[in-house]
């Protein structure tokens, strides 16, 4: 069963995504910031991390390269309401698998997670090539 880690400082977002992905049959864990996400990745080795950019303690851009150093095969999908084109390019450079703007369409995010699972080619990379 695929494992997904949801990282967001907003409790409502974490709860929504946890429920949505559990209903799809995934094992789901959550974290409130990048530092907690790093501990979860080390301990739990998720297949996919869905992570916000702006969070207290450690944001997604700081956590992203650290997650990829710990677990290079873990896919990381970044979420943000605040990004422009240059910032999105930075997310790719840091090793993200995909990106989605907030507020997101839940079906679109589910599709991105499905594609990011091992054995699938990430949708964002296909579009970028």
pLDDT in tens, 57-94: 999 999 999 999 999 999 999 999 877 666 788 898 99
E-assigned strand segments in 8-114? 27-31, 48-52, 75-80, 98-101
Residue 36 above 80 pLDDT? yes
pTM: 0.89
95: left (phi over 0), alpha (psi -120 to 50) or beta: left
CATH 3.30.590.10 fits 3-120, yes or no: no
Average pLDDT in the chain: 90
* pLDDT tier at 123, thresholds 50, 70, 90: very low
Residue 124 above 60 pLDDT? no
Q: Where are the domains of the chain?
A: 3-120
């Amino acid at each position: 069963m695929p494992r997904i880690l949801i990282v967001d400082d907003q409790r409502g977002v974490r709860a929504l995504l946890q429920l949505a992905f559990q209903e799809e049959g995934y094992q789901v864990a959550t974290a409130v910031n990048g530092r907690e996400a790093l501990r979860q990745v080390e301990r739990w080795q998720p297949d996919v991390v869905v992570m916000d950019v702006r969070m207290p303690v450690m944001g997604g851009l700081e956590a992203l390269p650290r997650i990829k150093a710990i677990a290079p095969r873990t896919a990381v999908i970044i979420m943000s309401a605040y990004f422009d084109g240059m910032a999105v390019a930075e997310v790719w450079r840091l090793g993200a698998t995909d990106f989605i703007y907030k507020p997101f369409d839940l079906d679109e995010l589910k599709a991105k997670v499905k594609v990011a699972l091992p054995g699938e080619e990430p949708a964002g990379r296909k579009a970028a090539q």
